[in-house]
Amino acid sequence: MTLAIILYTGAIGLLVIGLAGVVMSSHLFRMLLGLVIAEAGANLLLILAGYRWGGAAPIWQAGQFPTTMVDPVPQAMVLTAIVIGVGVQALAIALLIRHRHYSGTLQRTGGLNQLQADLDREAGVRHTRSSDAPTLNPLTEVEHVH
Amino acid sequence: MAWTPLLFSGGLAFMLFSLFMAVPFGEPLMRVGGMIQQTDGELGAANLVTAVVLGYRALDTLGELAILFAASTSVGLILTGVKQRTVSVECEELGELFEQASTLLLPLLIMVGFYIITHGHLTPGGGFQGGVIIAVALFLPTLAGRGAALLNHRLIQQVEGGAGALFILLGVAALLQGESFLQPWLPVGEIGALFSAGTLPLLYLAVGIKVGAELAALLTHLSTNVPSPEVPR
């Protein structure tokens, strides 16, 4: 039971840390890194779901398949998930490159401000931010030096 | 409201924990694994994971390849029009050692990649893993600053298309023999031999070449589209 708790804590911890990173970070690339961590946790959870006590790898050994072996189906699923994850990450990075070309920043609110400014300019409205407008995140108001 | 994400994370962790604690650990509830074990290698693959990926759910693998293809195509689409600037410009002073090492490693990595692909039905590994190694091998010259001279984009596209076509043709060939689409059909042979498991190694070869070509093109695409430093942040 303790082993199960330790393993599940590792996997669920990775998943939760990753998702918390996605929600809490103000930098888009860090959000992507959080997604990668969450993915690792989810894959680990899937692998754990197919574990069997005393199970060997599902591979032909010494003339036969092992009598007790771990479930090969979740492993095949995780193989799929990793490949899809790579595709998603590449796509996300391409979008980030595009976003940075457009707005010149990867801060989460930077792109929003740029979009609002563009919309206002197209509509012929003067782009002003009201002093009463709520600051989305006080951290991003500070000019970041990279 | 800085604590709301933390609250969300805590709630998620609690939910997942209580869900997984209700399932007995080490005794999978799914019976599929046991059923596959009882087939006793009817597909002839010593690695049961390969039997699942290319035998029992080959159609899903085809879908997976389609997703990877869609991702790499969209990366190309998204990045067109972005100002081109090759990495090699700033990598000129990487040094003799790195350049020579990349030349030495290139054939070695390609060999290891193909080894892993062709033994995918015998040992852990297979088309996806070996394909990634081949992609890294093809990406090395770009990293070493010799540009993408090796990577002819047209050639890569044709290789990729050919590999994808091979995968589908193997499926259609099974169809022509009155079987289901993508059903393994060549003689199974002896489990554990290199030439065994029917069409599974051929399918994995197609997967490996496709993944390798696709990821190499994708990596090169990303590396030649680095944002210029003069853009104001």
User: What CATH number corresponds to the domain at position A96?
Assistant: 1.10.287.3510
Q: Does residue A116 sit within a domain?
A: yes
3-state helix, strand, coil in chain B (%, to 5): 65, 0, 35
Contacts by A120-129 with C-beta closer than 8 Å and gap 24+?
none
Of A123, A72, A129, nearest in space to B31 by CA: A72
Q: Does residue A19 sit within a domain?
A: yes
Q: What is the mean pLDDT of chain A?
A: 82
Q: Does residue A109 sit within a domain?
A: yes
Q: B230 pLDDT exceeds 60?
A: no
Q: Does residue A63 sit within a domain?
A: no
| CA B176 – CA A130 distance, rounded (Å) | 70
Q: A116 pLDDT exceeds 90?
A: no
Q: Does residue A113 sit within a domain?
A: yes
Q: Residues with Cβ < 8 Å from B150, sequence gap 6 or more? A: B138, B141
Question: DSSP string covering B31-46, please?
Answer: SHHHHHHHT-STT--S
pLDDT higher for B80 or A6? Answer: A6
Tokens of A80: 């799929």
The residue written with tokens 């006080």 in the block is: A138
Tokens of B119: 């033994």
**Cβ-based contacts under 8 A for chains A and B:** 160
Could you tell me if B178 lies within 8 Å of chain A, comparing CB atoms?
no
**What is chain B's alpha carbon radius of gyration, rounded to the nearest angstrom?**
22
User: Measured between beta carbons, which residues in chain B are less than 8 angstroms from residue A58?
Assistant: 33, 37, 47-49
Q: Does residue A7 sit within a domain?
A: yes
Name residues 71-130 of chain A within 8 A of B (Cβ): 71-73, 75-76, 79-80, 82-84, 86-88, 90-91, 93-95, 97-98, 100-101, 104-105
From residue A133, how far is each of A126, A128, A130, A137 by CA, in Å?
A: 16, 10, 5, 12
Q: Percentage of chain A surpassing pLDDT 90?
A: 21
Q: Does residue A135 sit within a domain?
A: no
SS (H, E, C) A8-34: HHHHHHHHHHHHHHHHHCCEHHHHHHH
Spans of all domains in chain B: 41-80+97-223
Q: B121 pLDDT exceeds 70?
A: yes
Phi, psi of A6 (to 5 degrees): -60, -45
Tokens of B9: 């994370």
Max Cα–Cα distance, chain B, nearest Å: 64
Give the per-residue pLDDT at B197.
Answer: 77
Q: What is the pTM of this model?
A: 0.79
Domain of residue A115: give its range.
2-53+70-126
**What is chain A's alpha carbon radius of gyration, rounded to the nearest angstrom?**
23
Q: What is the pLDDT of residues A25-75, one digit of tens each?
A: 888 899 999 999 999 999 999 888 888 888 888 888 877 777 788 888 888
Structural domain total, chain A: 1
pLDDT higher for B175 or B231? Answer: B175
Q: Does residue A92 sit within a domain?
A: yes
